[in-house]
Amino acid sequence: METKNTWETYDEKQLQEVDIFAKDYMDFLNNGKTERECIDTIVNRIEKEGYQELEALIKAQKKLQCGDKVYSVWMNKSIVMFQIGKKPMAEGMNILGAHIDSPRLDVKQNPLYEDGGFAYLDTHYYGGVKKYQWVTIPLAIHGVIVKKDGTTVEVNIGENEDDPVFFVSDLLIHLAQEQLEKKAAKVIEGEALDIIIGNKPLVIKPEEREEKTIGEDGKKEEKTEAAGGQKEEKSEKEAVKKNMLAILKEAYDVEEEDFISAELEVVPAGKAREAGFDRSMILSYGQDDRVCAFSSLKAMLEVGATERTACCILVDKEEIGSVGATGMQSRFFENAVAELMNLTGEYSELNVRRCLASSCMLSSDVSSAYDPSYAASFDKKNVAYLGGGMVFNKFTGARGKSGSNDANAEYLAHIRAIFEKEKVNFQTAELGRVDLGGGGTIAYILALYGMNVIDSGVAVLNMHAPWEATSKADVYETKRGYVAFLENADL
């Protein structure tokens, strides 16, 4: 079987649409570098399109009907959207699912220290990263610091051209003989991924100096005049760290202890870029899996009145196993379905189960694109090609499909027929060569309800790297595929 190149299937008008879509997608990437930022961006968008918050509708005891648009956000990190269809919900929904968390470095709870004249933030990486890729590149810090009184301070620094950036150092090549003998997994260790945030000591003005030299016991400390003298150094201990704390206090009104209740994510600094002379690709951080999240979102907003209720779930924590209250394993989705059915007048325990069991889902996540530089890692007949269209993975998993959802042949046949009818270019793929490894997605979790689920999505080159590449044509084509699915799936 041959894969068609998606670019060759487009006419002039579609080629223009591809570029408009890509621009919108790149804006989405730039505005959503964390789960919370993605949720903010999404809610802003969908409220303009008539989506109403489920919790408010519950309070108002609003009766819902066909065409109504509803969303529910869980803990600022996950969201589910519904557009109510013509048929009763108990007959099943068509669900799009993707995740909005991405690999990164998370700042630890006691992170700030000084060493060798540098102030550092200690980090703990999140998700699968090749650690050596994170050194010597400009980094930004995004996230929140929640203070004891409950106020939330938002942090977003490193993205504007005049913002400072942060970085992890690496050993100079001239002294790296021993380092370069190490295995790639060990060449940069997790504890070495601390980011440098400053190098300038707190300067105490002479008039403040008198005060500062009074010790805690009220006694005046002895001081030598000579700069760099031992006693001088002792009283100015950790002056770079102190300077950092002074800056943080000034900028965000936070204390060192406030790191305890902070979620700060260190991500590659900079915007998504077009790649190639032909501008055919997008190079950006966080495309796993915001590429599927964005195209799912756009499909939801584009689709007209549907037979079955259209649903879109964009979740947190996929990269670490879909755990926690905001991961796919949490009951928030099931609860939202029950609440929604209550408002359409359909609620019963049995109807909720029927709704979930009768649903069809495209569980979307990125697929590894064939990389000619690492050809031996792939099966050329069963791999996704950049530009080859939307990807279907019948199964994922590792070591003999372990941990995978394996979609039914009947479901694949149904999807195939829809895509052919709607002229959506697609390809089927596996992650890589059978014995090499693998990965999981959220597909198996929704499959627990007994619904039809298949892994699908967009091919990505150098997935999980600080900068990942996708094809503009694939992103656009995948959105077309989602629309076709929402309008036609019924199995």
Pair 326, 316: CB distance under 8 Å: yes
At its nearest, how many Å lie between Mn ion and the CB of residue 392? 15
Q: Which CB, 68 or 318, lies closer to Mn ion? A: 318
Q: Which CB, 289 or 430, lies closer to Mn ion? A: 289
At its nearest, how many Å lie between Mn ion and the CB of residue 378? 17
At its nearest, how many Å lie between Mn ion and the CB of residue 366? 5
Q: Which CB, 98 or 473, lies closer to Mn ion? A: 98
Q: How many CB atoms lie within 10 A of CB 175?
A: 8
Q: Which CB, 289 or 474, lies closer to Mn ion? A: 289
Q: Which CB, 125 or 252, lies closer to Mn ion? A: 125
Q: Tell me which stretch binds Mn ion (CB under 5 A): 28-36, 224-232, 283-291, 422-430.
A: 283-291
Is residue 288 within the footprint of Mn ion (CB under 5 A)? Answer: yes
At its nearest, how many Å lie between Mn ion and the CB of residue 102? 7
At its nearest, how many Å lie between Mn ion and the CB of residue 355? 26
Q: Which CB, 365 or 474, lies closer to Mn ion? A: 365
Structure tokens at 277: 């002379």
Contacts (CB under 5 A) with Mn ion, residues 355-374: 365
Q: Residue holding tokens 């690492």?
A: 374
At its nearest, how many Å lie between Mn ion and the CB of residue 365? 4
Binding map of Mn ion across residues 242-281, x = CB under 5 A, - = no contact: ----------------------------------------
Contacts (CB under 5 A) with Mn ion, residues 143-202: none
d(CA 301, CA 483): 9
Q: Strand 273-275 and strand 52-53: pairing?
A: unpaired
At its nearest, how many Å lie between Mn ion and the CB of residue 142? 18
Q: What is the dihedral of CA 217, 220, 225, 230, to 10 degrees?
A: -30
Rg (CA), the chain: 26
Q: Which CB, 22 or 315, lies closer to Mn ion? A: 315
Q: Tell me which stretch binds Mn ion (CB under 5 A): 83-91, 196-204, 288-296, 451-459.
A: 288-296
d(CA 485, CA 307): 11
Is residue 289 within the footprint of Mn ion (CB under 5 A)? Answer: yes
Q: Which CB, 104 or 241, lies closer to Mn ion? A: 104
Is residue 35 within the footprint of Mn ion (CB under 5 A)? Answer: no
Structure tokens at 154: 């938002």
At its nearest, how many Å lie between Mn ion and the CB of residue 287? 9
Is residue 477 within the footprint of Mn ion (CB under 5 A)? Answer: no
Size of the site for Mn ion (CB under 5 A): 3
At its nearest, how many Å lie between Mn ion and the CB of residue 285? 13
Q: Tell me which stretch binds Mn ion (CB under 5 A): 257-265, 284-292, 304-312, 371-379.
A: 284-292
C-alpha distances (whole Å) from 322 to each of 162, 431, 442, 452 are 36, 19, 7, 19
Residues that bind Mn ion (CB under 5 A): 288-289, 365
